[in-house]
Amino acid sequence: MKIQNKTIIITGSSDGIGKAIALRLGKEKANIALVARNEKKLREVEKEALKLGANKIQTYTCDIRNEESIKNTVNLIKSDFGEIDVLINNAGVWQKLMQADEISTEITQAVLETNLHGTINMTQMVLPHLRSNSDETAIINISSKSGTTAQAGQAVYTASKYGVRGFTEVLHEDLKGSSIRVAGIYQAGTNTEMFSKTNENFPVEKFTDPNDLADVVRYMLSLPEKIWLHDVRVEY
């Protein structure tokens, strides 16, 4: 796929992995729709991406836990850009390490609604636009190593990421033979602020650099038409 001038939606793009992906694809002169809840941070990413060469960029304040918010956002993106070529489902939240019976209903709902339901709902809203696009298109779901490997203390987070993996695998099967490519990325710990938001103290400096992960996404999208990586594992 030629990334230049492609319209790419990136959820959770106000910081962390999503921001790194936006800036990397900006260098490729893509059209980027930045989606997240924090408008101030989105504006900062917008400015940086434009400086790096993004062809066109727009910000959209959206809570992907809310179906109506997703619907309105996708409709705006379609209106603003005309075509949608790539959806990168990246938005996600971390669940502080604890035993299953210690996790509150509030945390359970927040994690599942963001990580799993948000990914599913956003994909459902964008998919018809990808189907109507005559060019090669793609859906990349940024999941986690927790979507492939059981790890202690992550009952709900892991459930959400295993769900994303299952959704991605079925989507890949459903869309075989179409112009829509589907992939899941399952990365180990990444050096972002996601963990600190729950006061988790991990040695994040040893984790994967989000800029390196963004390079992986760029590489995947730039592959020739007859080559695709649908299951990518990233370790540090």
pLDDT tens digits along 85-96: 999 999 999 999
How far apart are alpha carbons 77 and 105 in whole angstroms? 33
Percent of the chain clearing pLDDT 90 (strictly above): 89
Averaged pLDDT, 162-185: 97
Averaged pLDDT, 95-103: 96
Give the three-class secondary structure for 64. Answer: coil
Judged against a pLDDT cut of 90, whether residue 145 lies above it is answered with yes
Instruction: State pTM to two decimals.
Output: 0.95
How far apart are alpha carbons 14 and 42 in whole angstroms? 5
- Contact criterion met (CB below 8 Å) for 45 and 22: yes
How far apart are alpha carbons 102 and 80 in whole angstroms? 45
Confidence of residue 206 (pLDDT cuts 50, 70, 90): confident
Q: In this structure, are strands 231-234 and 137-142 parallel, antiparallel, or unpaired?
A: unpaired
* pLDDT of 69: 97
Q: At a CB cut-off of 8 Å and minimum separation 6, what does 224 contact?
A: none
Judged against a pLDDT cut of 90, whether residue 22 lies above it is answered with yes
- Which of 52, 42, 33, 39 is CA-nearest to residue 15? 42
